[in-house]
């Protein structure tokens, strides 16, 4: 699965922790039959896929944790969430300024925007057989996660806090770290 979403602020994690029953059951359940993929809910983006392992505590490439209790990970546009404070307990909020690829490839989630990416590995290695898994491939038959996320893409998202991206200019990246009490801005220079 490779869904493309518009830039904006998103929650990444288990949607059952942050969305109302009206959205989870009423819309995603009754309208979309809890299907994986990108859905339009009240004119906002909601992309979701089952994890490979089911429930658990998963970490991304920078050891940020995601508490999953419904067996799915989603990218939820922030306007769909009533209580933002719920987000910090179970997932993270990101502000993506470029289009977003929300990819599921055989148990691994790839979230890529511009040259930045996040990977979350949800594979259950005891039950994992690569040939039998749901792979996402590009038009050349290569795994899409490997072709979208290169070392030249300025590495993965590097901060342990909730990150908001402001720009991806040639000379420097502005990264805003959002906490519920305060907001700070830091500048990171790209490697030449």
From the CB of residue 176, how many other CB atoms can be counted at a distance below 10 Å?
A: 16
pLDDT at 71: 92
Rounded-to-5 percentages of helix, strand, coil across the chain:
20, 40, 40
Q: What is the C-alpha separation between 95 and 137, in angstroms, rounded?
A: 26
177, 188 in Cβ contact below 8 A? no
Region of 65 (left: φ > 0; alpha: ψ -120 to 50; beta: rest) is beta
In this prediction, residue 183 has a pLDDT band, given cuts at 50, 70 and 90, of very low
pLDDT at 188: 30
What average pLDDT score do residues 111-137 get? 76
What average pLDDT score do residues 163-180 get? 36
3, 102 in Cβ contact below 8 A? yes
pLDDT at 147: 62
Distances (CA, A) of 127 to 64, 119, 133: 24, 20, 10
pTM: 0.72
From the CB of residue 56, how many other CB atoms can be counted at a distance below 10 Å?
A: 14
Q: Which letter does DSSP use for residue 142 in this model?
A: S
Whether residue 144 is predicted with pLDDT greater than 50 in this model: the reply is yes
Q: What is the C-alpha separation between 53 and 142, in angstroms, rounded?
A: 24
* Domain residue limits, the chain: 2-161
In this prediction, residue 84 has a pLDDT band, given cuts at 50, 70 and 90, of confident
Q: Which H or E run includes 90?
A: helix 87-90
pLDDT 10s digits, 52-63? 888 889 999 888
pLDDT at 9: 93
Q: What is the C-alpha separation between 113 and 135, in angstroms, rounded?
A: 20
Whether residue 175 is predicted with pLDDT greater than 80 in this model: the reply is no
Range name among 7-11, 86-90, 93-97 with the lowest pLDDT average: 86-90
- Locate 179 and state its tokens: 């906490």
């Amino acid at each position: 699965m490779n869904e493309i979403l518009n830039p904006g602020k998103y929650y990444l994690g288990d949607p059952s922790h942050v969305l109302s029953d009206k959205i989870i059951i009423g819309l995603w359940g009754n309208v979309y039959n809890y299907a994986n993929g990108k859905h339009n809910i009240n004119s906002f983006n909601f992309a979701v896929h089952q994890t490979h392992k089911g429930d658990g505590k998963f970490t991304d490439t920078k050891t940020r944790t995601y508490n999953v209790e419904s067996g799915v990970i989603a990218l939820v546009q922030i306007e769909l969430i009533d209580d933002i404070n719920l987000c910090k307990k179970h997932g993270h909020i990101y502000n993506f300024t470029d289009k977003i690829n929300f990819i599921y490839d055989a148990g691994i989630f790839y979230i890529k925007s511009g040259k930045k990416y996040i990977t979350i590995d949800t594979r259950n290695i005891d039950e994992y057989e690569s040939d039998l898994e749901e792979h996402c491939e590009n038009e050349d038959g290569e795994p899409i996660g490997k072709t979208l996320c290169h070392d030249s893409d300025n590495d993965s998202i590097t901060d342990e806090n909730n990150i908001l991206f402001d720009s991806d200019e040639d000379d420097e990246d502005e990264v805003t770290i959002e906490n519920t009490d305060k907001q700070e801005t830091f500048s990171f220079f790209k490697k030449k």
